[in-house]
A and B are shown apart, each in its own frame.
Chain A
């Protein structure tokens, strides 16, 4: 547990984190873990954060060491897509019982790892600690070490029990796990001057595949994506990349920074959401590769692709303008998405009523201010009740948010579009932005919204009668 404690402190003191660096020294030591208010609605735990960060690695068995709770409720709940193995979608658990709590679960765990290796022969086994196994003192690391030695394959301890903190902290600790146990443990067969890593991209709804063709066209190779559609060996060999892109600025910043420190891989923070941002991402990737010795002609080729793609995207968005002009949108999401889609939506004629900045960095906030010149309405933490009031008073025409806010929107009779992890549409890249605008247009034009805002027909009749009496 003390190791874990040290790890948590280390993650809190992440120099690559802009929020962290903006704080005075004393506060920085306290860490960036938002204190939870007991009794108030809260999000997922650190275990969940670690699991969602690592589970996209497709060819490993993810074994949850705990009672049925942690895995029973979360099995295959995330839409990160795989182009190969589907093993990561199989639910492995030690399903601890009272016996284990009393006598310890280490032997049970060891056996479970053995059984997985025997039945599935995965590239590696990732073993997740949970609150219960941590509290009874099961030594996850020792069991994994012993199992790895016995089985001759990597058995990776993910020592991130739920109680250490928030989901976001869990993301970061998952990054530490990769740094400590996976990255740099194997060598690639060959390297090229065009090898990059993409860090913090999870290939939800296959979004990475919307971006990859452009990189392919430019001859840029993704050595490893951490962790969307990743294979274990790719992550293990990722330390030989020439440059890296950090996608979700808060989730795995420690991975990008430490890979820079250890292996000299420069990185930039970018986003695939929004047209300008997609172009910036391509530009930055090319520039970093050229800085590291790739032929300079890559820059010119990249500009050609960007110019072509941008004009194509704008052309395809233009037809939606008449239907969308003047309609208002409330963005309720986190991190980079808070500003990176703003420009595209504005171009389509939409007015942004507000955007949430709960998970955004000061840099994100600056970008929002620049984009929404007149009224940068930012919510730090929009309470569901407040959101509900805004929607109900129809201060906005449509809300874009994640699944958990969906039902609040629908009860307030508000058109709603899912732009978070459980959605089925991919919005990344140039293509994704066109899709997003098209989906907004569809959502706004669906006849049900008119229907849902009207009273029942017999109530209509009653109102007319009343009106008639008044007029008489």
Chain B
């Protein structure tokens, strides 16, 4: 974890609703607040449809948040307009790595042009030579052969493609990267490779990550702090050790009980904790700090109990 805790991203009461006012209104993200500190890796876990990807996309402003604030380095970026100079600047500071390495690279573009897209948009290189050189550096950084520049994405494996996606995100020199399930589409043998690469780059360039995933063991490995999301809400937020050793919310307990262990003895006796989706949520609940650095979605009574 970062030594001096300066928040790089502060999310305050973020709501992201779709089809507002219609019969099919969806509250994908429903009033969540959290801070991400400089230099840390913030893990966001939850089941499919819990709103974790939407949270990421709202923060990077692929969606226009319904309400709430998103502060990036103290600056509210939740309302800045597309095409404004502030947006252009923001686009360079925050980047995203996508889930599906097969869908995240334009199949009709060469790797060089894919990686250089950010350079071109922001005019970061003056001439063609400089552009080529920069792309070479980026490819080198993600351990790809610079000769691969003139290839098409389909010539690469999933892991290689994901590394191209990482190089594209790094091209504009961001400080904060949202990794939206970057490894879930990859072969297990490749997952570690990509995660280690992400960690190396984080050290080299002093980056902050928000790591969205549903693979709990991988999240524990990479994250400093973890937030557990369920149906648009953050139900528990604590350091990764705390979440694993001392889960307080029944949903977190249920999630953790589902992790398989590569040990037949343990597996024989492992008991899954059921989570009743109807219980556990009531209107008087909110996310509150029950122990130092450990936040839980609960009502006041429960909070006092845990304190």
A, B: real partners:
no
- Residues on A facing B (Cβ under 8 Å): none
